[in-house]
Structure 1
């Protein structure tokens, strides 16, 4: 930590097989120390009551962080808070002078939940909640919802078509005479990859709208996803938390 960076006192409330892996991964990328309060899911797939009772929010959902006396919930809000507070070199969230890259990162951070997970969860909730009497309509319902997910993945596929390893190119803004910040590669990881990585992994793992998703479908997306999951920070986060999907 530099003299200008606050000293972290971070606790991460981590539910197994959840979005919380994003936060553990981001903390590892920033080399921030943190205390882990974790739990596997109960047999019904939900968070156990004992674990929920420890989470200091009304919703008692994971992920949540507590940093000193500050509590932050919701994945995107946590990511932005941690980047703005501790990523003072702009590794994961580009600084304001990198206008295009910063806007693009924030676009993907928003899309991870507001587009990709929104469309995928519609299918998952239909599987969970459709009355048995209507179960014969499930396949037709999924077929009707799947094009939304296909469109999302097609968008991501096109963005990655130039072979980049990570979602957002850095630097090169008009008026930014520095170009890429000196300590960054133009093709480097950002909060966009961390937020989007879980969403896409979840879609493929649960086959949510990606039916028939053979290896040749969305090859750039699959290449990108495989690559980001090889990062040391990601593997450390998985090992520390016991995460599986």
Structure 2
């Protein structure tokens, strides 16, 4: 069945305060109907076991979608599947070669660069012994790990220095909508929001262009609808 004629039968498995907001947001941008199976985090900050048991994957992680008889996990893979199946105009994943390559670059960087560097700091905080002496070493470790996060944010800051509202330029793309939002903004948006909210390597510096871009994309109607429907909050 072609992407133009396929009828969506989508269920989104959504854990609160997680990457799953990316997929709810993308579904709202595409105006796709979906069922929501959601859960708040348990008192320990993890996914409740009864929620994980409902997710039709071996890992039991969120986000996951089920579309008919197909199950897809991992944010970028879900985003690409939804765009390729239900976005024939290429609004969120452009058709034009350069714009599509750039969108995929940012989608990969959202996890493979930005989040992996930030999570190193978060995991150190979680696992380091809780003592005054250990805290001194943790601060030194965070300082060293912060360099990667700040380099990443400096890259994004420079890319946005021209004042653009969205990450991917559509100058050469005549097929998509003209507002410019893409799956790259959606995937990267969570990563940056998470880094800022948890102050993961950000102390002592600021990135005004990044903050301007983040404010803009999180004021989109589709993002607001996704937050209201899912109850998402960091």
Compute the TM-score of the two structures, normalised by the length of structure 1.
Answer: 0.91
Q: Does 1:180 align with 2:159?
A: no
Superimposed CA distance per residue, residues 12-45 of structure 1 (whole angstroms, 9 cap, x where no aligned partner)? 0000000000000000000000000000000000
2:208 counterpart residue number: 219
**Do 1:147 and 1:209's aligned partners in 2 also have CA atoms closer than 8 Å?**
yes
**Do 2:4 and 2:86's aligned partners in 1 also have CA atoms closer than 8 Å?**
no
- 3-state SS of 2:38 partner: strand
* Structure 1, 29-38 or 187-196: larger mean CA deviation: 187-196
- 1:71 and 1:3 map into 2 onto residues whose CA distance is 17
Matched ranges for 1:40-189 at <5 A: 40-95=40-95, 98-132=96-130, 134-172=134-172, 179-181=173-175, 184-185=177-178, 188-189=180-181
Compute the TM-score of the two structures, normalised by the length of structure 2.
Answer: 0.96
**Do 1:76 and 1:109's aligned partners in 2 also have CA atoms closer than 8 Å?**
yes
**Do 1:5 and 1:88's aligned partners in 2 also have CA atoms closer than 8 Å?**
no
**Do 2:22 and 2:190's aligned partners in 1 also have CA atoms closer than 8 Å?**
yes
**Do 1:5 and 1:85's aligned partners in 2 also have CA atoms closer than 8 Å?**
no
Q: Does 1:236 align with 2:225?
A: yes
- 3-state SS of 1:18 partner: coil
Q: Does 1:38 align with 2:38?
A: yes
- 3-state SS of 1:237 partner: helix
Q: Which runs of 5+ in 1 are unaligned?
A: 173-178
**Do 2:4 and 2:85's aligned partners in 1 also have CA atoms closer than 8 Å?**
no
Q: Offset of 1:81 from its aligned partner?
A: 0.5
Q: Structure 1 residues 218, 16: closer, same or farther in 2, change over 3 A?
A: same
- 1:142 and 1:112 map into 2 onto residues whose CA distance is 20
Q: Structure 1 residues 141, 11: closer, same or farther in 2, change over 3 A?
A: same
Q: Which runs of 5+ in 2 are unaligned?
A: none
Task: Tell me which of 191, 200, 207 is aligned to 2:199.
Answer: 207
- 1:5 and 1:138 map into 2 onto residues whose CA distance is 54
